[in-house]
Amino acid sequence: MTLHKLTAHEAHELLIKKEVSSVELIQAVLDRIDAVEGRVKAFVSITRDEALAKAKEVDARIKAGEAIGPLAGVPMVLKDNMCTKGIKTTCSSKILHNFVPPYNATVVEKLAAAGAVVVGKANLDEFAMGSSTENSGFFATRNPWNTEAVPGGSSGGSAASVAAGEAIYSLGSDTGGSIRQPASFCGVVGLKPTYGYVSRYGLIAFASSLDQIGPFTKDVRDSAQVMNVIAGHDPKDSTSAPVEVPDFTKFLTGDIKGLKIGIPKEYFVDGMEPGVEAAVKGAIAKLQELGAVVEECSLPHTEYALPVYYLIAPAEASSNLARYDGVRYGYRHEEAEDIISMYKKTRSEGFGAEVKRRIMLGTYALSSGYYDAYYLKALKVRTLIKDDFDKAFEKFDVLLSPTAPSTAFRFGEKADNPIQMYLSDIFTMSVNLAGIPGISIPCGFSNGMPVGLQLMGKAFDEGTLFRVAHAFEQSSDYHQARANL
């Protein structure tokens, strides 16, 4: 039995039957990391000793006859922008290269209470700004399906670790597609929950009105089980929604007869990779076979999503990243003549090129005389984009599109063209602007690389997304394909 290939629910079954111990499971994943990490480079840090100690605790509970939850004793990875007490949290940035938080993010606390075992922290585009993980301040992560290709971003390390078998599941964050796009590129399941469903407390902020934490998993059942643990109201997060969390696994019925699925015509654009379009159209046909009612619809303000996103997100980043000044924590330039030069030198040396680009964009958009023309106008158009979704959901239960216009591109292919890189998220960023949930599931291959299908749902209706995603998954075997490292 190859333990690192298991899903979380498969691992749980073996644990409760005492056919495998948590220590054996963790050791198998650590051995896998040793075998392939040199080629994948998914991790910023690996927490071997802590993971094995936690696994021994879970094994002791099982031996004592205690019931354990579905994630207990199962190895997972956290994107390195989630605070972990006593363990470095860097955001893959030089400016936080030595930062050790004094507290845990709420999702980390919830996972710990559920018995989850963290084996490491995953690489990302610096401060989650990027679509390829080439913008990490440390090194680029590689796609397990083809190590000459990017894994997507910004949660590239989290996606690659699951695709490579270096973790059973992982957590990422999604500001404009940073879970769904790498999930598509790496052939795994990636969920961006409704804004406010999962606490952002302890998530190092990029754009506070857009960021959301969610899971990467090998199948839809695992995604539902992780959401059962991490979702829910948190008084420490003022944007956390006070809503009840259902058991998401109850939605995995396989039955979607009569469900109405809308296909926004704006999401099938010229220049899309032909293999991506073919895979998504094949998935649409399969959903019709399963009894769903599929019709074309329109989200007319879609064309404004990219400029709106690249005004709002950098503006919020400019504000959030002002705290990295070399005074309180993180990198500090040592040879400054005065406090102003210390700020300048610390920030110019500590931040990478993409982060500086977005800070400058955002600072300009918020500056005196330009606020109304740019930021305020972008907020108004954001409302129109949200209204498009509200109107569509009056008729449809779920909307469907490709997750990305192409499969994973090669390293350096878009590095010198920021606009081309930004277009990688063209199908995902509207979901963040509207605050609704979106999930990417594997739906085929193009030129030997995975293709993702994006399903978008009403706010706090992740259950319907899981229902449709699971029904499709059960009718295909794309989710069972594994990268051959």
CA distance 10 to 96: 37
CA distance 191 to 279: 20
Catalytic: 178? yes
CA distance 435 to 427: 14
Neighbours of 86 (CB within 10 A): 11
- The token pair that represents 316 in the structure block: 């919020």
- The token pair that represents 297 in the structure block: 């619809």
Catalytic: 154? yes
Q: Determine which one of 21, 178, 199, 406 is catalytic.
A: 178
Report cis status (omega within 30 of 0) of the bond before 240.
no
CA distance 458 to 462: 8
434, 176 Cβ separation under 8 angstroms: no
Burial 427-466 (b: 16+ CB within 10 A, else e): bbbbbbbbbbbbbbbbbbbbeebbbbbbbbbbbbbbbbbb
Catalytic: 158? no
Distances (CA, A) of 37 to 24, 122, 135, 147, 254: 19, 11, 19, 11, 36
Q: Determine which one of 41, 54, 79, 218 is catalytic.
A: 79
Q: Determine which one of 154, 161, 173, 318 is catalytic.
A: 154
CA distance 397 to 469: 13
Cβ-in-10-Å burial (0-12, 13-18, 19+) of 120 comes to buried
The set of catalytic residues is 79, 154, 178
